[in-house]
Amino acid sequence: MRADARRNHDRLLDAARAAFAEHGADASLEDVARRAGVGIGTLYRHFPNRPALLGAVFQDALEALLRRSAELAEADEPCRALVEWLRAVVAHAGAYRGLARALMSASRDESSALGQCSVPLHAAGERLLVRAQEAGSVRQDVSVGDLMQLTNAIALAAEQSPEDEELADRLLALTLQGLRPAP
């Protein structure tokens, strides 16, 4: 990428992060371009659609989740490792208003840039889930897809009640109780 194109790319990502933080994942792409000091055509040359821009914006957070999963993969308590990682996923999905909804939609479309972000995330979660299942801490019929949809749903519910800062943790705790095998 040429130096000027790289600068535009970086400015677009910075502007998108700011716009998404202020207005949520549905922020106007025209506003993103304006904040970056470029035209809308330049934005679309770098990011052909909203999911591509969202995927690029959230790449850093995705990499952090993948690193955390790798660290937790060797934890002595597989169930606790899975729970810690699920909390991080809920926090990630709730980082920007509208992101949880976008992630839920993208999970069904692996051809989209945002959907492609979910592939390594699912693999990372699968490793933690299998370890917890092998330890007898999680029911065998639970899938990583189920967990990812649940974490996004929890983030979406918490987004709808921003005044209740404990809601995501309470909902996750309730969900985790349902993951345990029957005695």
pLDDT at 48: 93
Which stretches of the chain drop beneath a pLDDT of 50?
Answer: none
Angle at alpha carbon of residue 164, lines to 104 and 14, rounded to 5°:
55
pLDDT at 113: 63
Other CB atoms within 10 Å distance of the CB of residue 139: 13
Measure Cα distances from 142 to 125, 137, 149, 163 in Å.
12, 11, 12, 31
pLDDT at 170: 92
pLDDT at 58: 81
For residue 165, the 8-state DSSP code is T
pLDDT at 109: 67
